[in-house]
Chains A and B, each alone.
Chain A
Amino acid sequence: GESVGLHLPTLSVQEGDNSIINCAYSNSASDYFIWYKQESGKGPQFIIDIRSNMDKRQGQRVTVLLNKTVKHLSLQIAATQPGDSAVYFCAENPYNFNKFYFGSGTKLNVKP
């Protein structure tokens, strides 16, 4: 099957600092990626997406960077807040838009 892995299972940051969450993907044919945020007991929440014809996309306080050469994706969160504490998943969509492959996630802990 496909492999979407994450470099760090847990990331702790101080409130107000910037956070960077990394993700490696295995399928060079993947052309679409999504970052999801999942709080305890809830479903994944769409944060930001990026297509393979882009290398950067910005949202509100979040930026996704895509490096196709090394098959690496990152999510940057500016001025991290306690409400950002959650598990973050990157999801990869190879071949078509019918399904996504998820990694095991990175848990972000924001310390006040």
Chain B
Amino acid sequence: DTGVSQDPRHKITKRGQNVTFRCDPISEHNRLYWYRQTLGQGPEFLTYFQNEAQLEKSRLLSDRFSAERPKGSFSTLEIQRTEQGDSAMYLCASSLEGTLGAFFGQGTRLTVV
């Protein structure tokens, strides 16, 4: 499968715990996006990387959230001190600079109990 890959697919955690998600983009894509989706809503932009540089962050990305893309390939999204309001689907997408279209992974479903 050469699409965007996310791991894990599902994560259940207790409130206050830290969680980390991983995204592997399509191999030649240099742009990577993180989105969050709650039930019945469309995805909301969180942050965006071009290669290893994080170029934009949404105000939705509180201080408890941090994203990295250290080598310009895979990316991680960490949530510290999780809260119940963090429960959502976290989606990763990638695209190639100069081309149109962004392709999404299957997402990581986070449930904070």
Number of interface residues of B (CB under 8 A): 25
Inter-chain CA distance A97–B96, complex, in Å, is 10
Residue pair A98, B100 in contact (C-beta under 8 Å): no
Inter-chain CA distance A102–B33, complex, in Å, is 14
Closest to A50 in B: B100
A49: B residues at CB distance < 8 A: 100-101
Residue pair A46, B103 in contact (C-beta under 8 Å): yes
Closest to B103 in A: A46
Inter-chain CA distance A4–B41, complex, in Å, is 11
Inter-chain CA distance A105–B42, complex, in Å, is 6
Residue pair A44, B104 in contact (C-beta under 8 Å): yes
Residue pair A101, B103 in contact (C-beta under 8 Å): no
A111 contacts B by Cβ under 8 Å: no
Given contacts A89-B42, A98-B55, A99-B45, contact A46 B105 (CB under 8 A): no
B43, B45, B97, B104, most chain A CB atoms within 10 A: B43
Inter-chain CA distance A102–B106, complex, in Å, is 17
Closest to B46 in A: A99
A98, A100, A101, A104, most chain B CB atoms within 10 A: A98
Residue pair A44, B43 in contact (C-beta under 8 Å): yes
Closest to A98 in B: B48
